[in-house]
Amino acid sequence: MDRKYNDLIGDILEGSGEKDNYTGKGQGKPLPQSHIKKDLFQNFQEKAKDAGFLPPWLKLQKEISALVHSARTTKDIDYINKKIKKYNSMCPPPMQKMSISLDNLERAKRIW
C-alpha cells in the first residue's frame, strides 16, 4: 500500500480519466458576495423563498381563500370563521382579516 489514506473521490476521478483535467484543482468554489451584504435572517428568507417554503399562516390564507370562493351555507361560513380566527392568531397584525357572514360573502370573495 503506497498511500496512508483512502482517496475515494480521487479514485473515481482517476477511473474516469478526469483526475488531471479537473479545473478546480486546489481551489474552492467562489462564494457569492450577496451573503456579505445581508444579515442572517435575510439570508434565511432568501434561501427559504428559493426552496419554495411558505409560512404556515400563508398556506392557511390560501386555504381560506379557496373555501370562501366555494362557500354556500352557514355551516361553511362557520367553518371558515374558525379558520380565520386561527389565521389571525398566526399572521402579522397588518394581515389580519375580519370574520365573514352570508351577507358580506361577495365582499369577502374580493378581499380573500
pLDDT in tens, 43-73: 888 889 899 898 899 999 999 999 999 999 9
pLDDT digits (tens, 9 = 90+) for 11-36: 887 787 766 665 665 666 676 676 67
Residue 100 lies in a domain: yes
Using pLDDT thresholds of 50, 70 and 90, give the confidence band for residue 38.
Answer: confident
Tell me if 36 is assigned to some domain. no
Residue 79 lies in a domain: yes
Domain that holds residue 100: 57-111
What total number of domains does the chain contain?
1
Burial class (CB in 10 A: 0-12, 13-18, 19+), 25: exposed
Does 26 reside within a domain? no
Q: Which three cell numbers stand for residue 87?
A: 389565521
Query: What does pTM read for this prediction?
Result: 0.60
Q: Is 23 left (phi over 0), alpha (psi -120 to 50) or beta?
A: alpha
The pLDDT assigned to 7 comes to 78
